[in-house]
């Protein structure tokens, strides 16, 4: 049976977001048969016959022949829908989509699976308006069926379609939705993120998370603050659970820098940003975590104990220590102690670039014993090596002199002290003097070469 009852005669667009081309499909082959495979074998033929009969009844009446031989060669009249036939079509589509609820679609190939998804999506988009409640319900049901990969026994069936086909079909559904369907688009995107994470394929959605997600939430979709916060938190937790802490931090930084909200839910996201930054093994830059960049850090509901802990890492001194209340149960005190010592080391070395720092100074700064046995300074050297590995500083250790020569230090403080400015000025003056000396040597060499050339030319003329 042809799907002429469900499609236009030509390629048609849905708001310019997606285009569907009807290439003489058969409704019972492309839709009912695929769904029927997932049903008990005894019910399959009856299921196909039932939906096929409903679809046939939904066909609009054929136009009556003109009856005038003079106009027999005229183009035949097109079949026109009536309100009754359109409603019957809607009922058929609704029943078809409802039949896939909680059912794993048993497609024989990726092509068949994607064809089914596109056909059903085309029918829903063509027969329902985005403002209708049933439109949202049908799209959600279809998306749920596309992501169901377990069989009725609860086991994952090792047959077609592939995960790639499911990702493609779900992305097509998402891309076809109108911009006005903001809550539905957000729900589908969250579903896609959760589905890819479940299958350890989070890389599929990382480009969208990096380049578009925040813009969608705050600019294009203009999602309410609390709902946007909830979505971001869910995605962040998903990324962290997959070991993608840096990607989670990047998303939090991007979102919190752009949102103007200081609500309780946004403050919880700010606390998440600080907690993840403190617990991450490769994050030592806390200077940028300030209210001027992230307004939610100054929210009244932001934990004061976490704020105090953050300030300790932003402006460390030799006497700095961790507060008794860390502000989060997700933080490990021992790990934070080690991180704070490394930042203290970088802080001490920041004013000594181009100079040497003794092991005793380092030991005092980080709170360890320099030692007096054969392994003297071993613990200090361990801290220095860890700081170099963390890219906090660069330098050369000298065991004979028990010193560290500093060549570079990464900034770890939110403020640049007057002493540090003096150090920069002194180094610039040194470089200026070195450049002047090199310039003078070059000019002297060039003038000497020019003089020797004149003497040589004059001697040749004589």
**DSSP SS3 for 62:** coil
Contact 398, 387 (CB under 8 A): no
Tokens of 247: 């990607």
Half-sphere exposure of residue 149: CA atoms within 13 angstroms, side-chain side? 16
| Whole-number CA gyration radius for the chain | 35
Question: Which of 425 and 391 is assigned the larger pLDDT?
Answer: 391
- Strand pairing of 12-13 and 403-409? unpaired
Q: Give the bridge partners for 396, in sequence order.
A: 405
Contact 142, 173 (CB under 8 A): yes
Asked if the model's pLDDT at residue 390 lies above 50, the reply is yes
Task: Label residue 343 exposed, middle or buried (CB < 10 Å: 0-12, 13-18, 19+).
Answer: buried
Contact 193, 235 (CB under 8 A): yes
At 398-455, the pLDDT tens digits run: 988 999 999 988 866 545 556 656 766 777 888 788 898 898 888 888 877 666 666 5
User: Quick one: CA dihedral 322, 323, 324, 325, positive or negative?
Assistant: negative
Identify the residue whose tokens are 């920069």. 424
pLDDT for 11 equals 45
The whole-number average pLDDT for the span 381-394 is: 91
Residues whose CB is less than 8 angstroms from the CB of residue 310 and which lie 6 or more positions away in sequence, other chains included? 274, 278, 286, 289
Residues whose CB is less than 8 angstroms from the CB of residue 229 and which lie 6 or more positions away in sequence, other chains included? 261, 263, 265, 266, 268, 269
User: Quick one: CA dihedral 317, 321, 323, 326, positive or negative?
Assistant: positive
Question: Which of 327 and 417 is assigned the larger pLDDT?
Answer: 327
Helix axes 163-176, 110-127, angle to 10 degrees: 20
Contact 392, 409 (CB under 8 A): yes
Please state, in angstroms and as integers, the Cα–Cα distance from residue 325 to each residue in 16, 121, 140, 321, 322, following that order.
Answer: 55, 54, 44, 12, 8
pLDDT for 23 equals 44
Angle at Cα 172 formed by Cα 167 and Cα 173, nearest 5°?
100
On average, the pLDDT of the chain sits at 81
Could you please state the CATH topology (level 3) that the domain comprising 337-409 is classified under: Arc Repressor Mutant, subunit A (1.10.10)
CA dihedral (326, 328, 331, 334) in degrees, to 10, reads 30
CB atoms within 10 A of CB 136: 17
Question: Which of 452 and 295 is assigned the larger pLDDT?
Answer: 295
pLDDT for 81 equals 73
pTM of model > 0.85? no
Q: What stretches of 128-263 show up as alpha helix (H) in DSSP?
A: 133-146, 163-176, 182-198, 206-211, 213-215, 225-241, 245-258
Classify residue 229 by its DSSP letter.
H
- d(C-alpha 373, C-alpha 121), whole Å: 76
Identify the residue whose tokens are 């070469």. 449
- Lowest mean pLDDT: which of 21-30, 196-205, 413-422? 21-30
- d(C-alpha 161, C-alpha 95), whole Å: 23
Tokens of 122: 């085309």
């Amino acid at each position: 049976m042809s799907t002429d009852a469900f499609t236009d005669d030509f390629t048609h667009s849905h708001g310019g977001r997606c285009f569907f081309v009807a290439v003489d499909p058969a409704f019972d082959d492309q839709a009912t048969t695929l769904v029927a495979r997932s049903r008990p074998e005894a019910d399959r033929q009856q299921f196909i016959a039932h939906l096929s009969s409903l679809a046939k009844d939904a066909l609009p009446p054929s136009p009556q022949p003109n009856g005038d031989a003079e106009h027999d060669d005229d183009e035949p009249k097109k079949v026109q829908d009536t309100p009754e036939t359109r409603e019957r079509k809607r009922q058929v589509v609704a029943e078809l989509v409802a039949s896939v609820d909680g059912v794993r679609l048993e497609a024989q190939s990726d092509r068949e699976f994607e064809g089914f998804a596109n056909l059903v999506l085309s029918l829903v988009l063509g027969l329902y308006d985005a403002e209708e409640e049933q439109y949202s319900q049908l799209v959600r049901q279809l998306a749920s069926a596309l992501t169901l990969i377990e069989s009725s026994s609860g086991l994952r069936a090792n047959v077609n379609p592939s995960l790639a086909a499911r990702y493609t079909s779900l992305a097509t559904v998402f891309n076809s939705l109108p911009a006005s369907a903001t809550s539905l688009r957000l729900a589908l995107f969250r579903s896609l993120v959760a589905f890819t994470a479940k299958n350890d394929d989070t890389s599929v959605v990382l480009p969208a998370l990096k380049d578009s997600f925040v813009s969608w939430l705050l600019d294009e979709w203009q999602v309410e603050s609390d709902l946007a916060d909830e979505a971001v938190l869910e995605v962040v937790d998903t990324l962290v659970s997959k070991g993608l802490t840096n990607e989670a931090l990047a998303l939090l930084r991007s979102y919190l820098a752009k949102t103007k909200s200081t609500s309780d839910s946004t403050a919880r996201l700010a606390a998440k940003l600080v907690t993840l930054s403190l617990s991450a093994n490769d994050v030592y830059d806390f200077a940028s975590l300030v209210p001027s960049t992230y307004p939610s850090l100054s929210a009244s509901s932001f934990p004061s104990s976490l704020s105090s802990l953050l300030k300790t890492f932003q402006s460390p001194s030799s006497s700095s220590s961790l507060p008794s209340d860390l502000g989060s149960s997700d933080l490990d005190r021992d790990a934070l102690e080690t991180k704070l010592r490394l930042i203290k080391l970088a802080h001490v070395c920041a004013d000594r670039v181009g100079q040497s720092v003794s092991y005793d100074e380092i030991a005092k700064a980080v709170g360890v014993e320099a030692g007096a046995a054969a392994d003297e300074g071993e613990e200090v050297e361990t801290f220095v090596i860890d700081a170099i590995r963390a890219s906090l500083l660069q330098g050369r250790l000298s065991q004979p002199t028990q010193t560290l020569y500093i060549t570079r230090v990464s900034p770890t403080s939110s403020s640049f002290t007057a002493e540090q400015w003096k150090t920069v000025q002194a180094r610039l003056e040194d470089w200026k003097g070195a450049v002047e000396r090199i310039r003078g040597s070059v000019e002297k060499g060039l003038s000497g070469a020019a003089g020797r050339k004149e003497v040589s030319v004059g001697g040749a003329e004589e």
